């Protein structure tokens, strides 16, 4: 499923609309999957060269769907000629040696994950000296409706207070399916702005954004 809501948030929403069940959270994984730690691998793309601009693609994920998005962005940037490192922000990668950054996070409770914001705040001075693009992976507020667009753009409000991104990307992640959620849970998900159905990651859109972003 998507990474926008936590278990507590979903249960509170369910209670607010009179759902008489203890709903499973729309967290991005089934209960059995939630027990296993999410892998957060690192990748390298492009050729190491003193002439190539070195780019850090830093990401934060809760359920794993953001990993693939970060990897796809890093691969495309490597094809553009950049020397790219894709790293999880929870490992607190050093900013030294990079010429530009692409930073992204899953959305939970309408905001980036805490480890992503903590890293950005700690590295704010360095980020202000280089081009920085930002992206979000979310399962809610994915339409062109004015209300959903406003909520989607607000995902980056806290980050924009640290540094103004040269580009912003908003990509749908994974939403609930009949295999991992009940009918009531899927109804509540849509009722509160859920737009991703199953794996809604649009790889062409993600790669196109990475191919065009200004670094």
The pLDDT score that the predictor gives to residue 18 is 38
Report yes or no on whether pTM surpasses 0.95. no
Residue span of the structural domain in which 12 resides: 7-212
Is 66 a member of any domain? yes
Is 2 a member of any domain? no
Report the C-alpha gap between 202 and 97 in whole angstroms: 31
Is 22 a member of any domain? yes
The pLDDT score that the predictor gives to residue 126 is 97
Please, what sign has the CA dihedral across residues 147, 202, 185, 63?
A: negative
Is 1 a member of any domain? no
Is 181 a member of any domain? yes
The pLDDT score that the predictor gives to residue 144 is 93
Is 184 a member of any domain? yes
The pLDDT score that the predictor gives to residue 72 is 98
CATH of the domain at 170: 3.40.50.360
- Report how many domains make up the chain: 1
Provide the H-helix boundaries in the chain.
7-16, 31-34, 65-79, 114-122, 124-127, 146-154, 157-160, 183-191, 203-212
Is 166 a member of any domain? yes
Per-residue confidence in pLDDT tens, the chain, 215 aa: 445 655 445 444 444 443 333 333 333 333 333 446 799 999 999 988 778 899 999 999 999 999 999 999 999 999 999 999 999 999 999 999 999 999 999 999 999 999 999 999 999 999 999 999 999 999 999 999 999 999 999 999 999 999 999 999 999 999 888 888 888 988 888 887 788 889 999 999 999 999 999 99
Is 68 a member of any domain? yes
* Number of residues that make up the chain: 215
The pLDDT score that the predictor gives to residue 7 is 42
Residue 24 DSSP one-character state = P
The pLDDT score that the predictor gives to residue 11 is 43
The pLDDT score that the predictor gives to residue 4 is 60
The pLDDT score that the predictor gives to residue 181 is 82
Smallest Cα–Cα separation from 61: which of 106, 103, 93?
A: 106
The pLDDT score that the predictor gives to residue 190 is 82
């Amino acid at each position: 499923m998507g990474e926008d809501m936590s278990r507590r948030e979903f249960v509170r929403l369910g209670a607010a609309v009179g759902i008489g069940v203890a709903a499973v959270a729309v967290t991005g994984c089934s209960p059995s999957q939630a027990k296993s730690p999410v892998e957060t691998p690192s990748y390298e793309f492009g050729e190491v060269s003193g002439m190539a601009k070195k780019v850090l693609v830093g990401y934060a994920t809760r359920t794993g769907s953001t990993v693939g998005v970060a990897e796809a962005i890093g691969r495309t940037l490597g094809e553009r000629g950049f020397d790219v490192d894709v790293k999880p922000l929870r490992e607190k990668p050093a900013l030294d040696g990079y010429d530009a950054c692409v930073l992204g996070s899953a959305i939970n409770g309408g905001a980036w994950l805490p480890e992503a914001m903590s890293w950005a705040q700690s590295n704010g001075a360095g980020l202000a000296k280089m081009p920085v693009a930002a992206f979000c992976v979310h399962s809610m507020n994915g339409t062109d409706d004015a209300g959903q667009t406003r909520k989607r753009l607000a995902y980056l409000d806290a980050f924009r207070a640290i540094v103004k991104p040269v580009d912003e990307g908003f990509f749908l992640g994974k939403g609930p399916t009949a295999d991992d959620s009940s009918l009531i849970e899927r109804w509540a998900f849509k009722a509160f702005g859920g737009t991703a159905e199953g794996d809604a990651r649009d790889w062409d859109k993600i790669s196109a954004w990475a191919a065009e972003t200004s670094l």
